[in-house]
Amino acid sequence: MKNQNQPVASEGYPFIGLFAFVTLVFGLLDWDFLAFVMLALTLFAIYFFRNPERCIPDEEGAVVAPADGKVIFVGQVPEDRYFHAEVTKVSIFMSVFNVHVNRAPAAGKVIDMFYNRGEFFNASLDKASMQNEQGGILLETQGGQRLLFVQIAGLVARRIVTYPVVGDLLERGARYGLIRFGSRVDVYFPSGAEVSAKVGDRTCAGETVLGYLR
């Protein structure tokens, strides 16, 4: 899959290249203020699409955060697509200043995926989980437990990128996609899981433990 090693996600290359080219043109024309503005945009694009290495925990059953950001919801919700039961959902909101490369919360096999077109409400709102454009992955661990994680577009985010296909094997903490320009990721834990995340927690994708599959 893409973006496993390079320091800047490949989805950012067109933006960085365009901004850098316009910066050069304005500089050659001696339009100093506009050149400065475009240089700032170039640097922000590099910063936004940064793809840092992470230290993945090896604790048995650990479920790590799929996104950098802030936990805005932890609680029981009905999940009728796959679990058909009340399960625990953890929602992580990403601002435009967070790393936007998403990482697999657990190791396992991709057994199903979905993508729904929808609205672009502010991703911090509760209704975003149901009504916003989104794409989800259902993962089955080696122990047979299932974990659902969903990328959700937001007010500014208009592009969800997901790399795996059904049948792929993911490692815990592996980069699996990104959302451009601020959004959220929801993780649905199966019943019996131990969830340690709390509202207000700051997460680091691939490193912060949200809970455990027992």
CB burial string 141-162: b at 16+ within 10 A, e below: beeebbbbbbbbbbbebeebbb
**Over 70: is that where the pLDDT of 21 sits?**
yes
Q: What's CA 35's distance to the chain center, in Å?
A: 32
Please tell me the predicted confidence (pLDDT) of residue 169: 96
Cβ pair 172, 208 in contact under 8 A: no
The mean pLDDT value for 36-50 works out to 93
Q: Of 138, 152, 75, give the one whose Cα is nearest residue 106.
A: 138
Q: Confidence band (pLDDT; 50, 70, 90) for 90?
A: very high
Which one from 91, 129, 183, 196 is the annotated catalytic residue?
Answer: 183
User: Is 10 designated active site?
Assistant: no
Domain boundaries of the chain, sorted by first residue: 10-48, 62-212
Residue scoring higher pLDDT (181 or 110) = 110
Q: Confidence band (pLDDT; 50, 70, 90) for 156?
A: low
The 10s digit of each residue's pLDDT in 91-147 is: 999 888 898 899 999 999 999 999 887 555 554 555 555 666 889 999 999 989 999
What is the CATH architecture assignment of 62-212? Distorted Sandwich (2.70)
- The pLDDT > 90 percentage for the chain reads 66
Give this prediction's pTM.
0.85
The 10s digit of each residue's pLDDT in 55-74 is: 999 999 999 999 999 999 99
**Over 80: is that where the pLDDT of 8 sits?**
yes
What does the DSSP 8-state code read for residue 118? -
Residue scoring higher pLDDT (3 or 137) = 137
Tokens standing for 14?
């067109």
